[in-house]
Structure 1
Amino acid sequence: MNTLPNRKDAERSQAIVRLTLGGVAAIYVLATAALSPVPSEGESFAILIGGFMLVAVALYASIVKWPGHYPARRIFGMVHDYAGISMTMILGGEAMLPVFGTLLWVTVGNGMRFGTRYLAIATTFAITALCTIAYLTPYWREQPQVVATLLITTMVVPAYAHMLLRQTRGAYEKVDEANFARSRFLAQASHDLRQPIHAISLFTACLRDARLGSEARRMVDNIDKSLHSVSQLFRSILDSYTLDNGQVEARAASTPIRTLLEAVAAQNAEVARWAGVTLRVRAGRQRVHADPALLTTMVQNLVSNAIKYGPDRPVLIGTRMRRGLLSVEVHDQGRGISATHLPHVFEEFYRVRQVRDKDIEGVGLGLSIVRRIGALMGVSVSIRSRPGRGTVVTIDGLPVDRGPVHTPALATAPPTAPLTGLRILLIEDDHNVLQATATLLRKWGCRVDTATTIPTADVDYDLVISDYDLNTDHSGADCIAYMRQLSGRKVPALLMTGHNVKQVEAALDDAGIPVLSKPVRPAELRAVLAALRAQLVLPA
């Protein structure tokens, strides 16, 4: 690590400084030359400054067109800077002494932006330039004390900057080590915590389908509500962490907006029922060019907030066209937010505190995550609210995809289709998750064969469900590929994972295999299975 923040735009920043300082120096030089009794000096300075600025503009254009780390271009930029400064101080003599400040700025600036190696090179160039100026200028030859002072300053200031860079680099390395250790811990904790939450969710769904009395059903509801709260909090913390570490990248795709919003509504149906909320979707048939997973996360957080803060009232998820772009709006009829709180609601961990809100769960990350994801996707998020009347949060600026319509089979499959008789091969190395998933699938009428790793023989099945991380030499993707090869057909498959879904999808490189993030809601699992079953009867 040679640079302080190791920024990708370091060369561009230095080029902007070059143009700025060049412009300021040009004003001073030309003003000084205009007061000179020798007219030819003004002409010489004008030619020198014009040539310097022309090359500076060309360098900036080169950096904009070909960004990145090019050592030769950096060295050329330094040579150009010191040559321009030297010529100016040689031509102007005593009157150009203030230009030394520019030389010192350029020296330290190259080191702070490009690292200690470039700081040493820049210092060498600066000392060489001062010696050349002193040798070629009569005034400087007559002022050895001034030359010595400038040389000492040119060596001492970069040396001090070098010391600061080393200390700062050491601090950054420690921070990087701590971040790496934290990343590893959170990655492992993420997977390990998702597994039991996922298993509890599935076991709870099994209990819900059993013949329970009213009291027992109420207890199951309470377990499910608490589990949902833990799951939401867990996902919010992980979303915030991945955004903090730059691990999220937007990958736009053509996405039917109605399908996406209806899927979010379906995933929140049970939570809405607990809160006495009726979820309604009013969306057009447009398709947006946006990252479907990130957009789903944004809408999910908004709908979760609307349910949380507007119980026993309807919530509307709708779309609207504005100036050729699509907006997604989430309306609730809850208690609303006062004007005092509105400017702060997108801040991390900020919660609107009002009377009798101690039972409202959460840590104040939802809207912060929504805005940060929106910035990543290039869309804006706004909020308006009236106390006692409700709140509207809007995602603005989604580009509409006007290409040929293609709706994936998974999007059109009926989520309530029966699963009776569906033969499933379930591969999962966690015993509790394996037992919970198999029990639930059998309650839905499926015939289930289980395995903890790649089966050694072919079995009779319609589709494969596998965990991605099997703690073996093979992943769930390897299992699916092997079973497809063994059966000689492209069997429908589903992956579940406790890791980052986007990373798994990138490693999988097969858009036909859906990937669900643990903990998976039973309704979501059933909807995807219904869609996969629909594929089995689609015409070839």
Structure 2
Amino acid sequence: MTVDTEKVYDPERGQAWVRLLVSGTAMIYVLAVFFSANATEETTRLILYFIPVFMIVSLLLLGDVIQRPGVKPARRLFAMLLDYFSITLSMYLGGEAMLPVYGAVLWVTVGNGVRYGSFYLAIATAMALLSLLILYQFSPYLHEEPYLLATLLITTLVVPAYVNSLLAQSRRANEAERAANQAKSQFLAQASHDLRQPIHSIGLFTACLRDADLAPAQRQMVDSIDKSLHSVAQLFRSILDMYTLDGGRVTPRAEVVCLSELLTSVAQQNSEAARWAGVSIRVRAPRQHVLVDPGLLTTMVQNLLSNALKYASGRPVLIGCRRRAGTFAIEVYDRGRGIEPQHIANVFDEFYRVRQVRDNDIEGVGLGLAIVRRLARLMGLEVRMRSQVGKGTTVAIEGLLPVRPTAEERSVSSRQASGSPRMLDGLRVCLIEDDRSVLLATATLLRKWGCLVQTSLSIPQGDGGDFDLVITDFDLGREASGADCIQYLRELSGQRIPAIVVTGHEVKRVQEAVDDPDIPVLSKPLHPAELRSTLVALKAGLLPGR
């Protein structure tokens, strides 16, 4: 799927359009002056010939800029010469009545400096001074008004000099801003990686504890840990999602996705959070396939469901689908307190939260719906909200395009849907992770699911044929990456072993490094249900074909 991005601003195109606008206005004044001042027939004829020539050349310049965008110094100099020549000729032929056209001199000079930089500002200033000196040589009225000439020359020097100082300050400010943004990006990238690891491992350990034979008091403590961790992970993901969107590093990758499977998976991943909130989640969705980025759509539905769990605790939530004008919409219904009409227009703004008097302290910072709206725009979808105070809220994601899955996609989907709870029994997994805590937590969880796990802190040495699937962290120190491990093991075994990459870095960057669309890249902190569903998908769809 292609994504529309903002067009890069072309200063030459802007200058060319403004030239037509300003010169067109100036020409009207020029014609009015010449006809009202009873100019000679020869002078009037010259002006009437020159104006269309100037406009035609200006249009040709605009066309050339559109056809050949980019920095073209010769074209810029030609355009500047055209402007100054035209202004000088008009002021010479019109005499004193054309002195207001001097404003165009300042526009051309300052405009070139602001659009192209200090170098072109200096050239434009020199051309402007030269134009005034030429005008002085041939215009009697300037000989009679030396102070007027001095005023024009001083203005032509002072104004560009001041503009140049402003440009220098602007450059310094922009450089400082870029340096600050780069430092912020580096800090957030490192902090996100370092924070993901402990959150990821704690989540896996609590998932292991949940399946253990615990006393009621111990199970309640595990619930409390898991609930707190869930809140931290949700906040952490929201902040990182917004940071990634701000950086323009999100590019949708459209795939054929079954709506019922995606929505059921989201509901299952939030089953514990729903239990804590006293909410029953119901999914009513057809086995309709749509073309969409499954990861981004999952994030959108996840955020809508999280909001429903926060603001409609103790009441049921329904996730459904509706066909609309040849497309499908996903709708999340809750029976919460609803939103007052004056808040509807603002709830999708960043950090906006609807608070009421004596309101309970609700977790979050107000980024969930903002992320939903921005992801929707990125994928060409629409988000609509309806709400009634005291009756509940409905949020719809509209514009999903239906598609017909291939026979292979239907087969894989069917096997996934019919998978038993013990579908992973006997699956031989090679687990590679350089963090011992994460390695232990992941291996323990996989073994509880029935997998046979071989663990390693780096690239395992052997014949490469003792496992069915590879799960590897992407960052394995300085010697190798997860992509290197997968390539090495595939070459060693002579088979295209299915693999999963788990990372604490930006998913897009890791996907580019892995450069294999068949290898899922999962982001830490990873929900156990997400890992399990990915394993089931790989076993159902890929392993039988090896």
1:449 equivalent in structure 2? 454
Which of 412, 424, 428 in structure 1 is aligned with 2:433?
A: 428
In structure 1, distance between residues paired with 2:341 and 2:334: 17
1:232 equivalent in structure 2? 234
In structure 1, distance between residues paired with 2:36 and 2:430: 90
CA distance 1:116–1:291, shift in 2 (3 Å): farther
CA distance 1:292–1:75, shift in 2 (3 Å): farther
1:365-411 superposed Cα distances (whole Å, 9 cap, x missing partner):
11122223333344443322111111122334455668978738775
Residues 280 and 314 of structure 1 are in contact (CA less than 8 Å); yes or no, is this contact kept in structure 2? Answer: no
Q: Which moved more, 1:370-379 or 1:201-210?
A: 370-379
2:73 equivalent in structure 1? 71
Q: Is 1:437 matched with 2:439?
A: no
In structure 1, distance between residues paired with 2:155 and 2:72: 29
Q: For residues 473-484 of structure 1, what are the structure 2 equivalents within 5 Å? A: 473-484=479-490
Name the amino acid aligned to 1:315.
V
Q: Is 1:282 matched with 2:289?
A: no
Which of 139, 142, 146 in structure 1 is aligned with 2:141?
A: 139
Question: Post-superposition shift, 1:240?
Answer: 1.8
Which of 293, 311, 314 in structure 2 is aligned with 1:312?
A: 314
Question: Post-superposition shift, 1:336?
Answer: 0.8
CA distance 1:118–1:212, shift in 2 (3 Å): same
CA distance 1:476–1:411, shift in 2 (3 Å): farther
Name the amino acid aligned to 1:489.
Q
2:101 equivalent in structure 1? 99
Secondary structure, counterpart of 2:511 in structure 1: helix
CA distance 1:68–1:390, shift in 2 (3 Å): farther
In structure 1, distance between residues paired with 2:266 and 2:14: 43
Secondary structure, counterpart of 2:79 in structure 1: helix
Which of 508, 512, 520 in structure 2 is aligned with 1:506?
A: 512
2:15 equivalent in structure 1? 14
Residues 189 and 505 of structure 2 are in contact (CA less than 8 Å); yes or no, is this contact kept in structure 1? Answer: yes
1:465 equivalent in structure 2? 471
Residues 257 and 294 of structure 2 are in contact (CA less than 8 Å); yes or no, is this contact kept in structure 1? Answer: no
2:26 equivalent in structure 1? 25
**Normalized against structure 1, the TM-score is what?**
0.91
**Normalized against structure 2, the TM-score is what?**
0.90
2:337 equivalent in structure 1? 335
CA distance 1:16–1:400, shift in 2 (3 Å): farther
What runs of 5+ residues in structure 2 fail to find an aligned partner? 1-6
CA distance 1:396–1:9, shift in 2 (3 Å): farther
In structure 1, distance between residues paired with 2:46 and 2:318: 71
In structure 2, distance between residues paired with 1:396 and 1:197: 33
Residues 422 and 450 of structure 2 are in contact (CA less than 8 Å); yes or no, is this contact kept in structure 1? Answer: no
1:190-247 superposed Cα distances (whole Å, 9 cap, x missing partner):
0000000000000000001101122222221221111111011011111222233x33
Question: Post-superposition shift, 1:170?
Answer: 1.3
1:534 equivalent in structure 2? 540
Residues 119 and 162 of structure 1 are in contact (CA less than 8 Å); yes or no, is this contact kept in structure 2? Answer: yes
Q: For residues 139-178 of structure 1, what are the structure 2 equivalents within 5 Å? A: 139-178=141-180
2:4 equivalent in structure 1? none
2:491 equivalent in structure 1? 485
Name the amino acid aligned to 1:426.
L
Residues 250 and 291 of structure 1 are in contact (CA less than 8 Å); yes or no, is this contact kept in structure 2? Answer: no
CA distance 1:472–1:279, shift in 2 (3 Å): farther
1:521 equivalent in structure 2? 527
Question: Post-superposition shift, 1:536?
Answer: 4.6
In structure 1, distance between residues paired with 2:318 and 2:422: 26
Percent of pairs with identical residues: 55
Name the amino acid aligned to 1:180.
Q
Please report the RMSD computed on the Cα atoms of aligned residues, expressed in angstroms: 2.6
Residues 8 and 68 of structure 1 are in contact (CA less than 8 Å); yes or no, is this contact kept in structure 2? Answer: no
Q: Is 1:35 matched with 2:36?
A: yes
In structure 2, distance between residues paired with 1:357 and 1:282: 34
Question: Post-superposition shift, 1:274?
Answer: 2.8
1:187 equivalent in structure 2? 189
CA distance 1:277–1:94, shift in 2 (3 Å): farther
CA distance 1:411–1:126, shift in 2 (3 Å): farther
Secondary structure, counterpart of 1:383 in structure 2: strand
Secondary structure, counterpart of 1:341 in structure 2: helix
In structure 2, distance between residues paired with 1:94 and 1:403: 77
1:13-70 superposed Cα distances (whole Å, 9 cap, x missing partner):
3233223212322232233233231355555434333333333333334434444433
Question: Post-superposition shift, 1:435?
Answer: 0.7
Question: Post-superposition shift, 1:504?
Answer: 0.9
1:111-142 superposed Cα distances (whole Å, 9 cap, x missing partner):
12222222222222222332333334343344
1:48-98 superposed Cα distances (whole Å, 9 cap, x missing partner):
333333333333344344444333433333233323323322332222211
Residues 427 and 452 of structure 2 are in contact (CA less than 8 Å); yes or no, is this contact kept in structure 1? Answer: yes
1:3 equivalent in structure 2? none
Residues 462 and 492 of structure 1 are in contact (CA less than 8 Å); yes or no, is this contact kept in structure 2? Answer: yes
2:117 equivalent in structure 1? 115
Secondary structure, counterpart of 1:182 in structure 2: helix
In structure 2, distance between residues paired with 1:535 and 1:406: 9
What runs of 5+ residues in structure 1 fail to find an aligned partner? 1-5
Secondary structure, counterpart of 2:409 in structure 1: coil
